[in-house]
Structure 1
Amino acid sequence: MDHVTNNYEYVLLDVFTKEPFKGNPLAVVPTAEGLSDAAMQSIANEFNLSETVFLFPPEGAGALANARIFTPKRELPFAGHPTIGAAAVLAERHGSLERCVIEEKAGRIPIDLERTAEGLCLWLTTPPVTFHETLDPAFCARLLGLTLGDVRRDVAPQFASAGSPLLFVCLQSAEAVDRAAIQQQYLGDALGSVNSVGTFVFAMKLQTPAASFDVYSRMFAPQTGISEDPATGGATGPLAAYMMKHGLLPVDESVRFTSEQGTQMGRQSILHVHTNAESGEIKVGGSTVTIARGVLAADQ
Structure 2
Amino acid sequence: MTPETLSARPFAQVDVFSSDPFGGNPLAVVLDSTGLSTAGMQQFANWTNLAETTFLLPPTDPQADYRVRIFTPTEELPFAGHPTLGSAHAWLEAGGKPRQEGVLVQESAAGLVRIKVDDAGLLAFAAPALTRFEPVAEEVLERVAAGLGLPRRALRDAAWLVNGPEWIGVLLDSADQVLAIRPDYPAMAGLAVGVIGPHPAGAATEFEVRTFISDELPCEDPVTGSFNAGAAQWLIGSGRAPSTYTASQGTVLGRTGRVHVEEGGGNIWVGGESTTLISGTIRI
Q: What do the CA deviations read for 1:55-114 (whole angstroms, capped 9, x no partner)?
A: 000001121111000111111100111110111112121358511101011110011111
CA distance 1:29–1:114, shift in 2 (3 Å): same
Residue equivalent to 2:214: 222
In the alignment, which of 91, 108, 112 is matched to residue 112 of structure 2? Answer: 108
Q: 187, 190, 200: which one pairs with 2:194? A: 200
In the other structure, the counterpart of 1:134 is 136
Equivalent residue, structure 2, for 1:257: 245
SS class of match (1:85) = helix
- Determine what percentage of the aligned residue pairs are the same residue: 34
Counterpart Cα distance in 2 of 1:123 and 1:15:
12
Residue number in structure 1 paired with 2:259: 271
Cα offsets for 1:141-195 (capped at 9, x unmatched): 212122345432xx2x22111222201111222222123233233324x64xxxx
Write the letter of the residue equivalent to 2:258: I
Q: Which moves more between the two structures, 281-290 or 136-145?
A: 136-145
Gap regions ≥5 residues in structure 1:
192-197
Distance verdict in 2 for CA 1:158–1:242, change over 3 Å: same
Q: CA deviation at 1:115?
A: 2.6
Q: What residue is the counterpart of 2:36 in the other structure? A: 35
Residue in structure 1 matched with residue 125 of structure 2 by the alignment: 124
Distance (whole Å) between structure 2 residues aligned to residue 224 and residue 86 of structure 1: 26
Q: Give the corresponding residue for 1:282.
A: 268
Distance in 1 between residues matched to 2:266 and 2:164, nearest whole Å: 17
1:86 is matched with which residue? Answer: 87
Give me the CA root mean square deviation.
2.3
Unaligned runs of 5+ in 2: none
Q: 1:133 to 1:149 in 2, by over 3 A?
A: closer
Q: Which 4+ runs in 1 deviate beyond 6 A?
A: none
Secondary structure (helix, strand or coil) at the match of 2:92 reads helix
Read off the aligned partner of 2:193 and give its amino acid letter.
T
Pick closer, same or farther for the CA change 1:72–1:293 going to 2, 3 Å: same
Distance 1:168 1:182 in 2: 15
**TM-score, normalised on structure 2?**
0.89
Matching residue's letter, 1:101 = V
Normalised to the residue count of structure 1, the TM-score between the two structures is 0.85
Residues 126-165 of structure 1: matches in 2 within 5 Å?
126-129=127-130, 130-136=132-138, 137-148=141-152, 150-152=154-156, 155=157, 157-165=158-166
Matches within 5 A, 1:45-56: 45-56=46-57
Matched residues in 2 for 1:225 and 1:70: separation? 15
Q: Quote the offset at 1:249 in angstroms.
A: 3.1
Give the structure 2 partner of residue 237 of structure 1: 229
